[in-house]
Copies of this chain bind each other. A is one copy, B any other.
Amino acid sequence: MPDKVLIYSRFPKAMMVRIGERYELLDSKGQNFTEVFSTEQLSDVRALISAGGTALGAKAMDALPSLKAIVCYGTGYDGVDLKAATERGIAVGNSPAANAAAVADLAMTLMLAVTRRILPADAYVRSGDWAAAKPSPLMSPQQGMPARRFGVYGMGEIGRKIAVRAAAFETEVAYFSRSRHDVPYQYMPSLEALADWCNVLMVAVRAGRDTHHIIDAAMLRRLGPEGYLVNISRGSAVDEAALVAALADKTIAGAGLDVFETEPHAPDALTAFPNVVLTPHIGGHTLESHVAMQNCVMANLEAFFAGKPLAYPVT
């Protein structure tokens, strides 16, 4: 009989097919699992798969008395109460770097799309306004990459890949992270210094309590009126209300966002702006990334059920 694995978050079925071939999946499809499955069904669940960003605290853990492994599908594990897990002897694993290239690619896509005004440009062509030679203030020439100074916040796998890509566009790149890395980019002593210096701020920091709302009104003022914010990390890193205010009063020039504070909701005030590009948390959403993330999930489950330490433990 295959081992049981609880699907804790909502995942498209296609993502779970491969894992379902090896394990018996208890899928609550985004519902509260304690409502969907009986106490008896849950009593011998030893492992679960979560989306990492989904809140998973002591209460959920206590509803699963046999739980010993939380396996996050993806890089993030910010929703998991690590202290509660440790107290209960529950191991936590993730899929480190599996989607880093895809996320970095999307970060560059958002940055280029918003700075080169791709949405208004495409609309200008499709509407016939171009053919009619109708003037458009949004189509006036903008600064190009040589005038952009790239600030990368966070120098993990994703941050590194963003920096490599940005440097190929003949721009200056600097970064801030908790510690200095052996990378060929200028290290800034603080996020404030980075925001003062750059006019494109790429948020690639790991989400957590210490980074909650770290991009706030004051930080956006430092980024300034020619500045663009790109966030492909977690919505919680940005004070969304402050961002909306900064876009409304032109404290900054624009934003590219793949993540939001309360997904899948993007505030109406945000979706009304022409100078933002918004994507529905698709950073890691490529076929290759899913295979790589599934590889990590499978390796973590395989190790766990064989009685070994997780292959990719969160440390």
Instruction: Indicate if A34 sits at the interface (CB-CB under 8 A).
Output: no
CB contacts (< 8 Å) of A121 on chain B: these are: 278-280, 282
Instruction: Indicate if A105 sits at the interface (CB-CB under 8 A).
Output: yes
Instruction: Indicate if A67 sits at the interface (CB-CB under 8 A).
Output: no
Chain B residue nearest in CB terms to A101: B170
- B-facing mask of A106-144, CB < 8 A → 1, else 0? 101110110010110110111000110100000111111
B122 and A119 form a contact (CB under 8 A): yes
Instruction: Indicate if A190 sits at the interface (CB-CB under 8 A).
Output: no
Contact check: which of B139, B168, B264 meets A131 at CB < 8 Å? B264
A278 and B125 form a contact (CB under 8 A): yes
B144 and A101 form a contact (CB under 8 A): yes
- B-facing mask of A138-168, CB < 8 A → 1, else 0? 0111111111000000000000000011011
A124 and B289 form a contact (CB under 8 A): no
A146 and B101 form a contact (CB under 8 A): yes
Q: Which of A106, A167, A279, A287 has the most CB of B within 10 A?
A: A279
**Nearest CB of B to A47, in Å:** 24
Instruction: Indicate if A288 sits at the interface (CB-CB under 8 A).
Output: yes
- Which secondary structure characterizes the binding site on chain A? helix
Interface size class of A (residues with CB under 8 A): 35 or more
| Known contacts A113-B118, A165-B169, A143 near B288 by CB under 8 Å | yes
Q: Which of A130, A141, A146, A290 has the most CB of B within 10 A?
A: A141
B113 and A169 form a contact (CB under 8 A): no
Contact check: which of B112, B145, B168, B169 meets A167 at CB < 8 Å? B168
CB contacts (< 8 Å) of A220 on chain B: these are: none
A314 to B126 CA separation, bound complex (whole angstroms): 35
Contact check: which of B112, B125, B139, B168 meets A109 at CB < 8 Å? B112
Instruction: Indicate if A186 sits at the interface (CB-CB under 8 A).
Output: no
CB contacts (< 8 Å) of A142 on chain B: these are: 285-287
| Known contacts A119-B119, A168-B164, A280 near B130 by CB under 8 Å | yes
A271 and B126 form a contact (CB under 8 A): yes
Instruction: Indicate if A266 sits at the interface (CB-CB under 8 A).
Output: yes
- Chain A residues with CB under 8 Å of chain B are 14, 101-102, 105-106, 108-110, 112-113, 116, 118-119, 121-122, 124-126, 130-131, 133, 139-147, 164-165, 167-170, 264-266, 271, 277-280, 282, 285-290
Q: A118-B277, A125-B280 are in contact. List 11 more A-B contacts (CB 8 A).
A: A109-B116, A112-B112, A116-B282, A121-B278, A121-B279, A130-B280, A131-B266, A133-B264, A141-B289, A142-B286, A142-B287
